Structures are given as C-alpha cells and as structure tokens.
Structure 1
Amino acid sequence: MAFLLPSSGTAEAPQLVPRTHNDYAYQALAAAELVSLTERDVYLAALPAESHFAFGCPGIVGTLSVGGTVVLVENPDPAACLPVIERERVTVTSLAPAAARLWLDVLPTVRADVSSLRLVQVGGAPLPRATAERVGRALGCRLQQVFGMAEGVLALTRPGDPDETVLTTQGRPLSPDDELRIVDTDGKDVPDGERGELLARGPYTLRGYYRAPDHNARSFTADGYFRTGAFARRTPDGNLVVAAHPDDNPRRAENEDPSGP
C-alpha cells in the first residue's frame, strides 16, 4: 500500500481507499502519456493538491513523473490563478465545472495572458455543453472531460477525439484492461444508449475498502466488479455519459451548480 484516499461521493460516511504503488503509478503514468505530458509542461494545481483529480489524473504525480513542473497556489480563485498562468507559462490544469464557469466569467476582467494553456481538464460533475463550448473559445486550448473516482475508476476524452465527443461525453476508460458494465436494478447489462449503474473492474480499481468488510460486501459484485454508485450510459462509439442524477436529465444538469471533486 502507498497511501489511503477518502472515498468519492457523499451518500455515506467516507471510507478509506487503499492505493498501491503499482496501481497509482500505472494510473498517473498512463494518464500522462494519454495527454502527451513532457518535461516542458507546467501543471497548475488549481484544485486542492490532496484531491484525487489534481494529484494523479495525471496531475501532480503524472507531471513530476515526466520531469515537468508543478505550480501550487494558495488561492484557487480565478483572479489569483489566471495571473499565475501567465507568469509561470502554465500548459495544463484541472477544474471542476463550477470553477471552469467562474474562470470563463472572470477572464474578460482579468488582464492575464493565458495563451500558454494547451489543455484544461474538467471533471468532478457533469459539464453542461454550453460551458464546454466556451472553454476552447475563451481559453484558446483543448478541453478534456474526465470522470474519476478515488477508488480508481478513470475515464477521459482523448485529445484527438471529435469535438462532439469532447463536448458531450466523459470519454473512454484509461486502460485497455478496464472492464466496465452498465446494469439495471437487477444487475443485468443494459443496451448502449440506456442508463444504468456503472460497474468497474481493472488494474487500478480497488479490490476493497480498508478494514470495511460490511461496506465491501455491499460495494462489490460476486465476480469482483466495483459498484461505483454513478449512473451512466454508453454511446455507440464506446464513450461514457455520466449522469448528474439517476434520471439523466440534461436540463437539470445545465441549471445546477455542481461542486468540485
């Protein structure tokens, strides 16, 4: 075991997620490769450094693994972060949807050159399409949508994906060895396009919470799939659309103000 992370979600009291050296190193390195991180990249930890999203998706660990630079800020407000992007020539950062919207709203009033940015990751909650469309126009960089959990499930859009995929989905699993199922209330797989609960099993997904046998009995299927508690549907080309609520209502997602991861 390398360290313990607090579990994702707020429905129950947090559990401890044991992450091993092997599984977390694989996740960070694979995510770094996916977004083509190099020693020339500068990652801004605009989210709290201890958040899973900022720490290893690829985040801080992934950036340092390729010899890049990590910039930490004490104040996550856009008025503080945007000048840091100019000063440090930041190339990559990660935001929650609400923070992304705030950055976009504040950008016209802050005199900061953000042209060094090449990629902004957004995750932690569904991103309304209207906000997604503004990212590229306003920040002049590529958007990457991300769905991730401390438990190890990680899906991302790819830099080369069509715009429609990037604007409307959370992409595909990080690893070719990830196994995802979307099931109904009876545990049966649903057809592509239908909503269900997302189950996951893979090389960096936990096998059990730390010292929580009763919780584990509820959280895993008999064949070892982790019950994420998230609701999703799969598009015909294999991308995930993760719902804000079980009813997968786009209008509700557009109007809500989701919190960060």
Structure 2
Amino acid sequence: MSGDPYSGAASRWASGASLVYGPAAEALVRRCPHPLEGRLVLDAGAGTGAATAPLVAAGARVVAVDRSAGMLGWRAADRPPSVVADVRALPLGDDAVAAAVAAFVLNHLPDPVRGLAELGRVTRRGGAVLASVFATDFRSALRDRVDAAAADAGWQVPDWYLAMKADTVPLVGDAPAMARAAREAGLDDVAAEQCTVDVGIERAEQLVDYRFGQAPFAAWLDALGVRRAGDVRSAAVAALPARVAYRPRVVVLVARAR
C-alpha cells in the first residue's frame, strides 16, 4: 500500500464505518478472559477509536497505535495517548501492557505472524491478545448494491484496496489460518473462531453510511463535493430495501502472551 489512503478518511470513518467497526470491536473486547479495569492496554491499529471506546468503558488505561496520523488525529484531545507506528514494530518495551487488542488490522499486513508476535512481545505473560478480521468468505448482496451505485456515479475501486483484498485479507481470513498464524507467532491458549456479529445495521441509510465511510470511498466522495456526494448517497439508499439486515461474519482470536 503506497502512501496513506486513510489519511483523509477519519471523519467519514468515525461517523460512518464505525457503525459496524464499533459494535464489532466492542464484541471483541468483551471476549477478554481477564479484567481490564485499571490495567494498561494496547489498542493496535486504533484508527478513530472503535476499540478504544469499549476498552475505556471497561476501565482500561489505553495507549493507541496506528500507522495513519490522520486517523489518530481525529478528536485527539478527547482520546488516550497515541503514537504513529506500525503494529509490526511497536515502540513499546517487552511486557509493557496487560493486554493487546488488534481490531481489524491484521488483514492489512502481508506478514500477520510478525504483527501477532509483536503483540505478544509487548504483552505481559498470560495477558490477553485479542484480534479480529472480517471473514474472507463473507459476501453481502446488499453491500454490493451500494458499491454498484457508487460505480454508476464514477467510483473506481482503488488499486491498493484490490491488492489488499487479494493478497493480505486471506492470510488470516478464516479461523484455521488465524489460529495457525497465532501459534507461529508464539502465542499460547490459541482459540480462533468465525462468528456472525449483530452490529445493529437495520436501515438502508445505515448500511450506505457504513460503506461510504470506508477509506476506498473517502477521497472520491470528497472530490465530488457535498451536493454531488449527497446525490450519490441518495441513489445508493434508493437501491436498497428500506429495511436491511447486515450481519458480517468475523474471525475472532483470543490468545495469551507467552
């Protein structure tokens, strides 16, 4: 991936994409096998804070890491301390945190084993390492309609997104692959499963805002301007039934640092 395709996506992500990423990250945090209250926890690939919010609600003291300064910069004054860094080279010492959470970040890595090994390195022995990605085999005809409405208006799928879908997403996109990567990274008590998450998306407008809130659309929508982008949103909403049920399938990892 060249440059930072997420740099200008923070506002759309926080108000749109987080409609799905937020509840999914909350479900991941709930799987932590030990209490988080008062403990220092790493939010790796934090973005605009989808996992930070439930961690803070659980009483954790959070430090956030993300490669995108633009994503970390969104409402930074209201968020925990953060640093721009790659999850594969974390600027933390060994055993620095009580737990590490990586919600929807491993699917961006060409070497997820290295990322998981770093999460294990910075987590104290026995501390939880939690991760999630969307399942590779998840398909949604409703989501495809949203994409088609955008394509009709001139949107083209960015090359970086196509490459990610083809090359990195499958590396941990099912439970066996996720478990294998975690074991190769040296984690203990590895449990990976694929599950469906009820993220609360029930209306066409919610699904469109979620999809258009993602980074592959951000620069294009911004270039259209407010009025034209609003027209495209309306067309996408009209392409869907008023009531929808969007329930993504997610691969979830719960493991412990060695």
Give the TM-score normalised by structure 2: 0.44
> Looking at both structures, which has the greater relative contact order when contacts are Cα pairs under 8 Å and sequence separation is at least 6?
2
Larger helix fraction of residues: 2
TM-score w.r.t. length of structure 1: 0.44
